[in-house]
Amino acid sequence: MKNTLSENVAEDKKNNKGVVSMSSDIIPDAELDCVGLYCPMPIAQTKEEIDKLEVGQVLKVEADDPAAEEDIKRWAKRVGHEILKFEKEGTILTFHIRKMK
């Protein structure tokens, strides 16, 4: 019997935490929804969530505050984390951040 897509994603998360899957999608270890929040909340909550992760794990953050694009990129660079992927779709900004230390 074939697995459903959700079963495949769950299996990928279990086996390949924070790595690029066969379909080139990054599988996050945690997700944070900052849609509707404005400065300084997206960056404050991103810091709080990434502090909960182990080194090498990936946090997916979604925000719609236009300032979050520069704020989160600048913060990640300053503290030494890696932005694996950044997407902008309409007003939604999506970051995939790997905890590096």
Per the residue annotation, which of 10, 19, 35, 39 is the catalytic one? 39
Phi and psi at 21, nearest 5°, equal: -85, 180
Q: What phi and psi, each to the nearest 5 degrees, are found at residue 52?
A: -80, -15
Residue 34: active-site member: no
- Cα gap 90→101, rounded to integer Å: 32
Active site residues: 39
